[in-house]
Amino acid sequence: MVATRKNALNIRDRIIDFRRVSAAELVPNPKNFRVHTDAQRQYFRSILDSIGFVGVELTRELSDGRLVLIDGHMRQEEVGDGGDRPQRGRGRRHPGDV
């Protein structure tokens, strides 16, 4: 017998795909309000040097195919045109998403 949850959540999967994209190809989100301190940037660089990339940046696709950052602005700013190093993910865009 399989147990079922009485109040199971109905969670939408907004992930479309994962793919590698050069950091230079990503478009900064004009609605990003976060500003990182020099200390945060130095700490981030030290993690990149010792561990490298272990996650993906979240983006949404514009009508022209370009990818706009939702999360990961500091990674994009610090790496710039970092060649083939960054790994990026792309999320599904829904009405009302930032």
User: Which tokens hold the place of 20?
Assistant: 């590698």
Tell me: pLDDT of 1 over 80: no
Name the residue range of residue 28's domain.
16-91
25 Cβ contact list (under 8 Å, min separation 6): 66, 67
Helix (H, G, I), strand (E, B) or coil at 98: coil
Answer whether 67's CB lies under 8 Å from 25's CB.
Answer: yes
Tell me: pLDDT of 69 over 80: yes
Our count of domains for the chain comes to 1
Domain with residue 76: its CATH number is 3.90.1530.10
Segment 39-61 mean pLDDT = 85
Within a domain: 96: no
Q: What is the pLDDT of residues 70-98, one digit of tens each?
A: 887 777 777 766 544 444 444 544 445 44
